[in-house]
Structure formats: C-alpha cells, structure tokens
A = this chain, B = another copy of it.
Amino acid sequence: MEKVAPHAHLTVVSRFESIELVLAVVDDLLKQAELNGETRHWVGLAVREAIANAVKHGSREEEERIRVEATVEDGEVIVRVRDKGPGFDPDELSDPLAPENLLRPSGRGIFYMRKLMDDVEFRFDDDRGTEVVLRKQISSEEDFARTEEDTG
C-alpha cells in the first residue's frame, strides 16, 4: 500500500493570528515524525519567523494569503512559506551582530532562521511571489523523541 509521509499544505490569511494555527499543524507533523520537544521548538521558531516575515513584508494588498507546505521525508524537515510580496535582496541584509545593529529592535528574523535550520533559501518569482525554504536534517539521534512523553 502507498506510503504516506507526514505532510501538510495550507493557505492562511496573511496576519499574525495565523501563526498559531500554522505552528499547531507543523508541530503535529513533527510529532508524527517522532521529533523531540527541543527540536520541535527550534524548527517551530524558524517557521514563526518565516511566517512573520511573509505577513510583515510579503503583502501587496490587505489580507492576502500565505501558503505553507511542510514535509518530513528522507530524514529531512522541509518547510516552505510563500507570500505574494515583491521580495527583497538577501545579499543586502544587515548583520544583526554588527555593533551598530546590536541594539536595533528588528532585523534578527532571518539570522535566527539560519542558525536554527541547516539551510534557508529564498526564491523570487514575479508570478509565484516570494518563497522561503527551510530545511533541517533529522538523521542525527538527538532530534528524536526518546519517550512517549517527549512527543506529548
């Protein structure tokens, strides 16, 4: 019988309130893949940042939709967040660790994503909009839940 990998694909309205719903779905998915609470927390945080950016920077109109796609397959978590915005130049990002930026109230989201995940890729397309692809290998022992409780 056909194998079903943990998978979720959904559209949500582009507003901060949608973050918790997406996080609940992604967390359930990571539980299906038997990842432990620690790993789920950090992946979840990276996803929060990606959605927050799509909401903040990725709308051309009010209340557009954001697409989220998440899978765990072949030992890798992949989360894609796509918005309808104009995109940006990733080479122009300022370094949040530079002394002049250290006390700025913003500009840390992508930096966190990169630290929390193995790979963060941005794709821009006039028709499809902006997509961020977050990847994390979970082959290593430390990501898996050891006990039932740990997945709870």
Chain A residues within CB distance 8 Å of chain B: 1-2, 4-13, 18, 21, 24-25, 28-29, 31-32, 65, 67, 84, 126-129
Contacts and interface: CB of A to CB of B under 8 A. Distances in A.
A65 B4 CA distance: 7
Nearest to A18: B28
Q: Which 9 A-B pairs have the closest CB atoms?
A: A8-B10, A9-B9, A4-B65, A7-B11, A2-B127, A6-B11, A21-B28, A13-B32, A4-B11
Contacts of A9: 7-10
A21 B25 contact: yes
Contacts of A24: 21, 24
Chain A residues touching B, majority SS? mixed
A12 B29 CA distance: 7
A12 B25 CA distance: 9
A129 B3 CA distance: 11
B65 A1 contact: no
Nearest to A31: B13
A1 B32 contact: no
Given A1-B126, A12-B32, A25-B25, 17 more contacts: A1-B84, A1-B127, A2-B127, A2-B128, A4-B65, A5-B11, A6-B65, A7-B10, A7-B67, A8-B8, A8-B9, A10-B10, A13-B28, A13-B31, A13-B32, A21-B28, A24-B24
A78 to B, nearest CB: 14
Contacts of A129: 1
